[in-house]
Amino acid sequence: MASEVRTKAALAQDATAIMNRLTTEQKNTALLRMADALLTEQANIIAANELDLQRGREQGTSPSLLDRLSLNSDRVAAIAEGLRQIVELPDPVGELLEHFDRPNGLKINKIRVPIGVIGMIYEARPNVTVDAAGLCLKTGNCVVLRGGSAALESNRKIVEILKNALHATDMPADAIQLIEDSDRASVNEMLKLNGLLDVVIPRGGASLIRNVIENATVPVIETGAGICHTFVDESADYTMAVEIAFNAKVQRPSVCNSMETLLVHETFAGQHLIPLAERFLQAGVELRGCEKTVALIPGTKLASDEDFGTEYNDYIMNVRIVSDLDGALSHIRRFSTKHSECIVTENKDNAERFIQDVDAAAVYHNASTRFTDGFEFGFGAEIGISTQKLHARGPMGLPALTSTKYQIFGNGQIRG
């Protein structure tokens, strides 16, 4: 007998033909029904969520994780509102991207089409279940969801409600599949389902991502890892530099676009590093520095290469004093995960060189790296932030969930 994973992925793949034909209006109608159903059935969702919370408490889950897992009436309303916002976004499917008229009379269109079946592997809060389903369905894709076991009861109830909401619509209920098998083997089975899954998108911590990269034969869109730097150049405006660096580190340290390492030009450091460091120390940020930093800021721990290569996602920051722009570029080349990098400078030539030379999904001049985000970029949605160079790089909006197809119109052309 086929496994749960294979059976459900095959149902999703079978549903792609119908999804592919749906109009934007048909998709939007279905998404609105789903939003309504989540509100109507919120008591059932909260009850299922309570089972997850109870199991979590019994297993000693930390209060902060329990809080992320927990759903209440406001949170369910926010999730439903998220679906309504997806309805408002333009539908990329069907967009004519290119057209060529060939000398032999062939007319060639390149148009956007759904990818097919998207496998989402995640460990985050139950809102990801609805959010990912909404984005995939809006773009005409089917989705196979594999959430973390901590949210299984919540996810099960949510997906049941979403599927039921589709019964009176043109969208097939099979377009949404939830893998309920919480064994790691079900993830690994998904990773090898070439032909049934067209892409796998992992969202979660480093070990989840690594497992996907190492084991997938299905194409993957890698998301997440961010060792981001801010380089404060010699000519930087002091107030701007402090505000940008502080925002990049402290506003939300747990996310991938926050800063891990501050690089400071030695002249700027000589004049300003002491008060700058003070600002971070007062906010409870632990500093780890290069030898020059340690000499300037007594009590600072010496940073190792391992520190410079670590994504802390926490109130810890490396500081390195560099002799010039080249020193900063060289450090970034060595330690960057190519996510988001920033230069703060009043020197236009240096800004241009940094923007040109740094190889990253997002390169900033005089703004916080925290802006690397689909909503901040104006995409109205985000399925994740790609840290690979193929297909999509940086924040991924709806077009990142599409592929393309060439349509060729002839009148009997054959190749000579």
96 lies in the binding site for its own copies (CB under 8 A)? no
Contact characters 286-325, its own copies, x per CB under 8 A: ----------------------------------------
60 binds its own copies (CB under 8 A): no
Place of tokens 């949605």: 381
Q: Per-residue x/- mask for its own copies, residues 111 to 150, rule CB under 8 A? A: --x-xx----------------------------------
Stretch that binds its own copies, among 30-38, 74-82, 271-279, 382-390 (CB under 8 A): 382-390
CB of 8 to its own copies, least distance (A): 19
Q: What residue type is assigned to position 415 of the chain? A: R
Binding of its own copies by 198 (CB under 8 A) = yes
Residue 361 in the binding site for its own copies (CB under 8 A) = yes
Nearer to its own copies, 50 or 237 (CB): 237
Sheet containing 228-232: give its strands across: 301-302, 286-289, 316-322, 259-265, 228-232, 340-344
Distance between CA atoms of residues 319 and 253, nearest Å = 16
Q: Is 359 in the site for its own copies (CB under 8 A)?
A: yes
The residue from 220, 290, 317, 319 that contacts its own copies (CB under 8 A) is 220
- Give the other-Cβ count within 10 Å of 173's Cβ: 17
Among 15, 34, 244, 322, binds its own copies (CB under 8 A): 244
Beta carbons of 269 and 235 less than 8 angstroms apart: no
Q: Are 213 and 188 in contact (CB under 8 A)?
A: no
Closest to 223 measured CA to CA, from 87, 47, 384: 384
Geometric angle at alpha carbon 378, from 94 and 68, rounded to 5°: 105
Is there binding between residue 251 and its own copies (CB under 8 A)?
yes
Cβ atoms of residues 49 and 75 within 8 Å: no
Q: What span, in angstroms and rounded, lies between the C-alpha atoms of 310 and 319?
A: 13
Please report whether residue 333 would count as binding its own copies according to CB under 8 A. Answer: yes
Planar angle of CA 234, 240, 246, nearest 5 degrees: 105
Q: Is 367 in the site for its own copies (CB under 8 A)?
A: yes
360 makes contact with its own copies (CB under 8 A): yes
Nearest-approach distance from CB 71 to its own copies, in angstroms: 26
Q: Give the gyration radius of the chain's Cα atoms.
A: 24
The verdict on 167 binding its own copies (CB under 8 A) reads no
Q: Residue 369 carries which DSSP code?
A: G
Q: How far apart are the first and last CA of the chain?
A: 50
List of residues contacting its own copies (CB under 8 A): 16-17, 20-21, 100, 102, 106, 108, 113, 115-116, 194, 198-199, 213-214, 217, 219-222, 237, 240, 243-244, 246-248, 251, 329, 333, 355-357, 359-368, 370-372, 376-378, 388-391, 393-394, 403-415
